């Protein structure tokens, strides 16, 4: 068994592009693949109207949504106190997520944060794992653009389109701000950003003639304003960092798999598939975990000085 694996790997190495380049001979006809041509923007499949085009990553994200909804619909029909197999499976997933969140956020915050964080985790995970199935990225049709034939697959990994991580990041941002506003009240939350109180105290003590407290009040006031502006900026920059973290990891993984399958056709891609499995899980965990952490920060009341 092990000998077959080694023989296949050596055959793929020697007869594939690396070996034929080293030994100076042409690869045999059944192994010659075209050089991989990676296109970063997702390819459109058809246009519904002049404004809305359906791309292959959109179809893949629809597929993952349908898969998740159907799975949990069938798991929660006819629920009993002692669960059957499907309900038990759903309970395992929910319980794992709840334990992870309780460890990071505490009991009370978990109740508030669970729907959004668990949805983000499951959606990103399903998108990432669906992309590893054999029929993703390989079934499609050829189109002619000018004088080149381009292959357009019908299904492509949903996380490799910038729009999908961007949409999830915007949803996470909106929910974090909503939780913060609801927990602390509108004025109090915004007060954390636009903190003019210290500056006002500094000016009032300057007017009253207390120079020392005025100087310290003024300096602290300016520092507070600067820190407030930095806070707002960091809240908005989260959208960019969430998006590009997920997009970069998934696109780099896809390009890596395509290039490895091109270089050594047979066995060498197996460790990289394992790497992709791990990275997909970790990225889903990171996205959901960071939303959890920022939501917890938004929900905890400010420490009174």
Partner 1 sequence: MDAGTMKMLAVGLVAGLGFLGPGLALGLIGFSAMQALGRNPEARGPILTNMILIGALAEAIGIYALIVAIILALVAS
Q: Site residues (CB under 8 A) for partner 1?
A: 38-40, 100, 103-104, 241, 244-245, 247-249, 251-252, 255, 282-283, 285-286, 289-290, 293
Both tokens of 56, joined, read 């292959």
- Give the nearer residue to partner 1 in terms of CB position, either 61 or 160: 160
- Give the nearer residue to partner 1 in terms of CB position, either 104 or 277: 104
Q: Smallest distance from the beta carbon of 169 to partner 1, in angstroms?
A: 12
Q: Smallest distance from the beta carbon of 221 to partner 1, in angstroms?
A: 32
- Give the nearer residue to partner 1 in terms of CB position, either 15 or 290: 290
SS3 of 140-180: EEEEEECCEEEEEECCCCHHHCCHHHHHHHHHHHHHHHHHH
- Give the nearer residue to partner 1 in terms of CB position, either 55 or 205: 55
Any bridge partners for residue 46, and if so which? 54
Q: Smallest distance from the beta carbon of 287 to partner 1, in angstroms?
A: 9
Q: Smallest distance from the beta carbon of 248 to partner 1, in angstroms?
A: 3
- Give the nearer residue to partner 1 in terms of CB position, either 58 or 284: 284
Residues ≥6 apart with Cβ < 8 Å to 39: 150
Q: Smallest distance from the beta carbon of 291 to partner 1, in angstroms?
A: 12
- Give the nearer residue to partner 1 in terms of CB position, either 250 or 299: 250
Q: Smallest distance from the beta carbon of 100 to partner 1, in angstroms?
A: 8
Q: Smallest distance from the beta carbon of 86 to partner 1, in angstroms?
A: 29
- Give the nearer residue to partner 1 in terms of CB position, either 75 or 164: 164
């Amino acid at each position: 068994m092990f000998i077959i694996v080694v023989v296949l790997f050596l055959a793929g190495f020697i007869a594939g592009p690396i070996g034929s380049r080293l030994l100076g001979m042409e690869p045999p006809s059944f192994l010659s693949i075209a050089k991989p041509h990676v296109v970063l923007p997702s390819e459109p499949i058809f246009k519904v109207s002049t404004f809305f085009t359906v791309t292959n990553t959109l179809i893949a994200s629809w597929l993952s949504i349908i898969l998740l909804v159907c799975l949990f619909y069938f798991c929660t029909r006819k629920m009993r106190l002692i669960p059957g197999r499907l309900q038990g499976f759903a309970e395992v997933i929910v319980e794992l997520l709840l334990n992870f969140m309780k460890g990071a956020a505490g009991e009370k915050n978990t109740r508030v944060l669970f729907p959004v964080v668990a949805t983000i985790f499951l959606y990103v995970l399903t998108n990432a794992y669906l992309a590893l199935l054999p029929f993703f990225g390989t079934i499609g049709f050829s189109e002619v653009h000018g004088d080149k034939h381009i292959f357009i697959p019908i299904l492509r990994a949903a996380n490799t389109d910038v729009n999908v991580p961007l949409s999830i990041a915007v949803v996470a941002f909106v929910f974090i701000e909503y939780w913060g506003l609801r927990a602390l009240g509108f004025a109090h939350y915004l007060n954390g950003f636009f903190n003019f109180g210290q500056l006002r105290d500094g000016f009032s003590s300057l007017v009253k003639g207390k120079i020392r407290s005025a100087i310290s009040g003024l300096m602290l006031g300016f520092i507070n304003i600067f820190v407030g502006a930095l806070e707002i900026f960091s809240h908005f920059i989260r959208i960019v960092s969430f998006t590009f973290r997920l997009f970069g990891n998934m696109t780099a993984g896809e390009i890596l798999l395509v290039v490895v399958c091109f270089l050594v056709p047979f066995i060498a891609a197996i460790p990289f598939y394992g790497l992709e499995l791990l990275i997909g899980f970790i990225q889903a965990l990171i996205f959901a975990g960071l939303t959890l952490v920022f939501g917890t920060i938004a929900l905890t009341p400010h420490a009174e000085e």
